[in-house]
A and B are shown apart, each in its own frame.
Chain A
Amino acid sequence: MMMKASALTILLLAGASLSAEETSITRLVDEVGDRVPSHTVVPIYPEDARRDRIEGEVQVCYDVDVKGRPYRVAVRQSTNRIFERPSMRAIKASLYVPLDPGEKTSGIKTCRTFRFQLQPLVDDN
């Protein structure tokens, strides 16, 4: 069989110039929820989404057990699937303040919305 001549693309260079900028975080809270976050893990902005300038939003809802660990974690709303996995991972790795013995909650699911945004980089010079 005859081998085809193959053409190359310069992929080595592509990786070298991609620099991950530091992610800024904004927290929005109110006094309505009955569980208090103790350790909030921030999702990673997917590199492909950053590269392709994709923004989006994911709402994740879950229960929190007495020890403060989220369970039954599920995506309720999402504008783009690319953000769902990092959002789920972040919730599963986050913690809430444990309940005191005998303390009861409303039983309403806890929800957290992640908004993935891209901001123009300001040149400090």
Chain B
Amino acid sequence: MGPRNPQLADGATALKAGDIEDGVRLTLLGLESAHGLREKTAALSNLCAGYMLLGQVDDSLEYCDRAIAVNDRNWRAYNNRALVYMELERYEEAEADVIRGQELAPRAKSLKVVKGMLLDETNPVSPNIIIDDRREPYDDEG
């Protein structure tokens, strides 16, 4: 048996392969015939990602909002919407989505990456490495 919603599956494959326009087109078709919460959530979340990759931020945000409205436990939608908010420089909302996403999926690497990106925007740091060759113990670094 093939996929239950072939357009949705093909759309995801196209998006992953970098064929974004085709991926969005197929996913929109897949959304029309989506059955159940899981398919609908996946379609909306993938459209959020697809439109973001196309640079259509407002469309992306709309689909992220819809994905979360349909299923508020979808951490990928929070991850994607956080990126959309960052693009829009709405950093507090981005942070709230990262926090919510990490509550749902504490070990998700993509959320850690997004959190790092957000910190780089709001609280940038630069590395400093101290190389201490002193043999005697010192109380301070002078």
List residues of A whose CB falls within 8 A of some B CB: 1-14, 17-19, 21-30, 32-33, 37, 40, 42-43, 45, 50-53, 111-121
Which interface residue of A5, A27, A37, A43 has the most chain B CB atoms within 10 A?
A: A5
Is the interface on chain B under 10, 10 to 19, 20 to 34, or 35 or more residues?
A: 35 or more
Given contacts A11-B113, A14-B110, contact A5 B129 (CB under 8 A): no
Count of chain A to chain B residue pairs whose CB atoms are closer than 8 Å in the complex: 169
Flag if A1 contacts B42 (CB, 8 Å): no
Known: A17-B120, A28-B130. A2 touches B4 (CB 8 A): yes
Give A114 to B128 CA distance when docked, in angstroms. 10
Instruction: Please classify the interface of chain B as helix (H, G, I), strand (E, B), loop, or mixed, using the class held by over half of its residues.
Output: helix
Q: Which residues of B contact A (CB under 8 A)?
A: 1-5, 8-9, 12, 15-16, 30, 34, 38-39, 41-43, 45-46, 49-50, 52-53, 74, 76-77, 79-80, 83, 86, 110, 112-117, 119-120, 123-136, 138, 141
A5 contacts B12, CB within 8 Å? Answer: yes
Give the interface centre of B15, B34, B49 by most chain A CB atoms within 10 Å.
Answer: B49
Q: Which of B1, B50, B76, B126 contacts A24 (CB 8 A)?
A: B126
Q: Is there contact, CB below 8 Å, between A11 and B110? A: yes
